[in-house]
Amino acid sequence: MAKEYYLNTPLKTEELERLEIGDKVFITGTIYSARDAAHKKLIELLQAGKELPFDIKGQTIYYVGPSPEKPGMVIGSAGPTTSYRMDKYSPKLLDIGLKAMIGKGERSREVTDAIVRNKAVYLIAVGGAGVLLAQAIKASKIIAYEELGAEALREMEVENFPCFVGIDTTGKDIYSEGVAKYQIREESK
């Protein structure tokens, strides 16, 4: 049976080890937004031996390129983007301390292996609910790569940002487990 957890950033390994696929998680604190173009730049910095624009240890990256905010709002619609586009960059970031990624869709075997190796998690935000998800974002500022527009690296303050555990620290994956459960039910009919 899925449980609910309220976590504050930066995330701690012992907190993440309690999570199981399907659990509902509410995150409060600082998270960072980055999509594929920003991830590419982060990896290029690391390859050049330079520091990242933020301390990645214990942090969460949300795969989002928010729409422009309307007057009086902190951010525009902020729905998740498809995560597999970050798969070639994620293992390196996990290996240097990233603890959670938020997006939608399946991840590669390499990402799952890096999640297990680093006792991290992959969280799923509900696609198509960008306006609702934006309500949990209380502050947002660009900290790097402004030239990327919506894909710039942002530091965001969130309060009870809702998501579900997609891959837990043991490597269980909600996508493969869900398919397996469905197949068992179909075969028993």
Q: Would you place residue 159 in the very low, low, confident or very high pLDDT band (cuts 50, 70, 90)?
A: very high
pTM of the model: 0.92
pLDDT > 70? residue 184: no
pLDDT tens, residue by residue, 10-25: 999 999 999 999 999 9
Q: What's the token pair of residue 71? A: 């007057």
pLDDT tens, residue by residue, 88-126: 999 999 999 999 999 999 999 999 999 999 999 999 998
What does the H/E/C string look like for 120-182?
A: CEEEECCCCCHHHHHCCEEEEEEEECHHHHHHCEEEEEEEEEEEEEEECCCCCEHHHHHHHHH
Return the half-sphere exposure (C-beta side, CA atoms, 13 A cut-off) of residue 121: 30
Q: What is the Cα–Cα distance from 91 to 70, expressed in whole angstroms?
A: 35
Percentage of residues in the chain with pLDDT exceeding 90? 78
What CATH number is given for 23-170 in this structure? 3.20.130.10
